[in-house]
Structure 1
Amino acid sequence: MSEEKGSRTANIFDVARLAGVSHQTVSRVLNDLPNVRPATRARVEQAIAQLRYSPSPAARALVTRRTRTIGLVTPGVSDYGPTSVAMHFNFAARAARYNVETVSSLDADAAGVREVVEGLLRQRVDAIVLIVVDIAVLEAVRGLDLSIPVVAAASAPRRSPLIVSIDQYRGARAAVRHLAELGHQRILHVAGPQRAPDATERMRGWRDELAARRLAAVEPEYGDWSAASGYRVGSALDVEPDSAIFVGNDHMSIGVLSALRERGIRVPEDVSVVGFDDVPEAGYLYPALTTVRQDFAALGELIMQKVLIAVEEPETATEDTPLPTHLIVRQSTRAPGAE
């Protein structure tokens, strides 16, 4: 067993363990990137020399042909989540001295996706990043035989080393748990689009938390992430006394709050409302919105880390646990009957 271990070629994770740093730091040293302290750089270089480490021939061959350009495919929407992820990914790419070629895709069909991807391939990008709001886009790209890695930000039901996400499911359960622990027995859900993987995971979390507490689930109403759709749903929502509403995102929550106010239904005195995202305006609504915060900056950085591994050390790629969310409790939730 020891002979086998001794004869094994060292990889980037061995270097990271010996140097006491992350594999991303080792990658930054190998590529002579900034933001590595001199003492850390020296420790990594010492570990590289001690282990006689060199990147795999295949990865090194790829490096010599690199354009240091990444193709970013964003959805043709201006929603807060996707635009925030794209912005923070661009920051992380710039820090790693990569350029980003961004293309917005309005089509979720296979032909439209193929056209976008082929356009990026003609620009000789080193990798493609997808920000997925429609599961059909991810399925279409999976059906293409590409010679470069594809990293996706997607709440996909099937895990993969090249898929990163924020834990929508546990975030939704935390929101519903908060409402149930306040004493609400009837917790409605205003969901996002049915083809959106984030919406699917949030709805799954809502159902499972209700089931775990033996609370009945009323069929959800669907919006399109916009405040206008939240207003439309909120205008007709069957809100009984002491109900609560878990809304699929903060912008729909804004519409729901407006519709309830017009109907003379008070928040939180008559009904509690929880959103999802923690948009910058959430704390300044009236009442200030209880919501689930997502760390879009961390997701953007994680995507870039995945790209670096996929390009430079593809054999070392591993699955990541989805990033956690955080429940932010404000004034839009209250125990039933409390004054």
Structure 2
Amino acid sequence: MTTIKDVANEAGVSISTVSRILNFDDTLSVGEDTRRRVLEVAEKLQYKKRNKRQVKTGKQIAIVQWHTDKEELSDLYYLQIEYGIENKAASLGATIERVTYESIDKNRIKNFDGIIAVGKFDKTEVTELASYGLPVICIGENYLQYGLDCIRSDFESPVRKIVDRFIEKGINDIGMIAGKELTVTEKQGVRDPRVATFNQYLSEKGLYNSDFVFQGPFGPDSGFELMNEAIGKLGDKLPHGFMIGSDSMAVGVLRALQQHNIKVPDRVSIISFNDVAIAKYTSPALTTVHVHTELMGERAIEMLLQRIKNPKKVPELTIIATELVNRESSK
């Protein structure tokens, strides 16, 4: 099992620096390069050593990122997916290049063999990507209506499992701190299937309370602010169970609860999503839904190669299962 010492050794920094970076300590004065290096090392070591890069032969693939590099470091879900893409590409002798949607060179990208678009894109953006005449695989949403192959995680099933788990533990007052996202070009709100399933499933059980649902940007600062808002608004009526939209949000949630001397999991049980490396190093360690991000990236490469080989193949939607990882933050 990877330890903080392993991360520190590979990143070339102290153990305390690693701990503070993984807990998004904003009082730590380190450069962005150091922060990125530590987070990337932690993510790599959580799974396995990445394959050594092979000679640059074979297909050339562009990874089009939805987020900027800085945004990606505040919520590591997409970074994990990209490692899966890179690992699979390296094993097949393909080369990849990362670009953000806004930085695409429209003339240069046509020299690639295909595109893997990672994130949440609106109609304008999807239409633009398809206009380059290259095979496009999308990771994150269902884009079958645009004739594109796509991959997404099953986020609906774990929401129901988490609710059932809370109820089995005698927790019937259940809250949610969820992420809220907008597309880059059209500034459209992105539907989160976890929020929709949470609202519907709790309503079916007669347990839904809109006062217990808080939404804001993904990331630790937002998690901290939203939990503080919940504590201030609800006081003693603060739910005993909370579902959190991402592990990075949960880091901020834990910090807010600790500052208010609210014990986890004795008073509030926390279950989050994604199972990025930081989930193991919080205090308490996070119970979280493991999303098979590396598998999503690997499958995207496979689907792209199939699409290149057979351009007229019927578009497919692949849904990857998730699983709950039990740690210390929930009863």
Aligned length: 258
* Per-residue CA distance 1:60-118 (angstroms, 9 max, x = gap): xxxxxx9721111112122311111111101111212211121123xxxxxx4xx6261
Q: How does 1:194-213 map to 2 (within 5 A)?
A: 194-195=181-182, 200-213=192-205
Whether contact under 8 Å (2:64, 2:116) holds in the other structure is yes
3-state DSSP of counterpart to 1:140: helix
Give the distance between the partners of 1:131 and 1:241, measured in 2 at CA: 36
Q: How does 1:111-260 map to 2 (within 5 A)?
A: 112=102, 116=104, 118-122=106-110, 124-132=111-119, 134-136=120-122, 139-143=124-128, 144-156=130-142, 162-195=149-182, 200-219=192-211, 220-237=213-230, 238=234, 240=237, 243-260=240-257
Instruction: Give the AA of the match of 1:72.
Output: I
- Residues 190 and 120 of structure 1: CA distance in aligned 2, closer, same or farther (over 3 Å): farther
- Residues 120 and 84 of structure 1: CA distance in aligned 2, closer, same or farther (over 3 Å): farther
Q: CA deviation at 1:326?
A: 0.4
Structure 1 counterpart of 2:100 = 104
Q: CA deviation at 1:186?
A: 1.5
Give the distance between the partners of 1:288 and 1:199, measured in 2 at CA: 28
Instruction: Give the AA of the match of 1:146.
Output: Y
* Per-residue CA distance 1:131-159 (angstroms, 9 max, x = gap): 01x333x6422355332111110233757
Q: Does 2:60 correspond to 1:69? A: yes
Q: Which moved more, 1:78-87 or 1:205-214?
A: 205-214
Q: CA deviation at 1:234?
A: 1.2
Structure 2 counterpart of 1:291 = 288
Give the distance between the partners of 2:310 and 2:295, measured in 1 at CA: 21
3-state DSSP of counterpart to 2:312: helix
Give the distance between the partners of 2:302 and 2:268, measured in 1 at CA: 43
Structure 1: runs of 5 or more not aligned: 1-65, 106-111, 335-339
Give the distance between the partners of 1:172 and 1:307, measured in 2 at CA: 30
Q: CA deviation at 1:119?
A: 4.5
Q: How does 1:33-52 map to 2 (within 5 A)?
A: none
Instruction: Give the AA of the match of 2:286.
Output: L
* Per-residue CA distance 1:217-252 (angstroms, 9 max, x = gap): 325212322111111111121352652111100111
Whether contact under 8 Å (2:137, 2:304) holds in the other structure is yes
Give the distance between the partners of 1:86 and 1:207, measured in 2 at CA: 31
Larger radius of gyration: 1
3-state DSSP of counterpart to 1:315: coil
- Residues 163 and 314 of structure 1: CA distance in aligned 2, closer, same or farther (over 3 Å): same
Give the distance between the partners of 2:229 and 2:318, measured in 1 at CA: 38
Give the distance between the partners of 2:97 and 2:181, measured in 1 at CA: 29
Structure 2 counterpart of 1:331 = 328
3-state DSSP of counterpart to 2:286: coil
Give the distance between the partners of 2:158 and 2:143, measured in 1 at CA: 16
Whether contact under 8 Å (2:220, 2:249) holds in the other structure is yes
Whether contact under 8 Å (1:175, 1:292) holds in the other structure is no
Q: Which moved more, 1:270-279 or 1:313-322?
A: 313-322
* Per-residue CA distance 1:143-185 (angstroms, 9 max, x = gap): 5533211111023375766111111222333222322222211
Give the distance between the partners of 2:131 and 2:191, measured in 1 at CA: 29
Give the distance between the partners of 2:157 and 2:141, measured in 1 at CA: 12
- Residues 252 and 127 of structure 1: CA distance in aligned 2, closer, same or farther (over 3 Å): same
Q: CA deviation at 1:317?
A: 4.3
Whether contact under 8 Å (2:144, 2:317) holds in the other structure is no
Percent of aligned pairs sharing the same letter? 23
Whether contact under 8 Å (1:161, 1:317) holds in the other structure is no
3-state DSSP of counterpart to 1:178: helix
Q: Does 2:78 correspond to 1:92? A: no
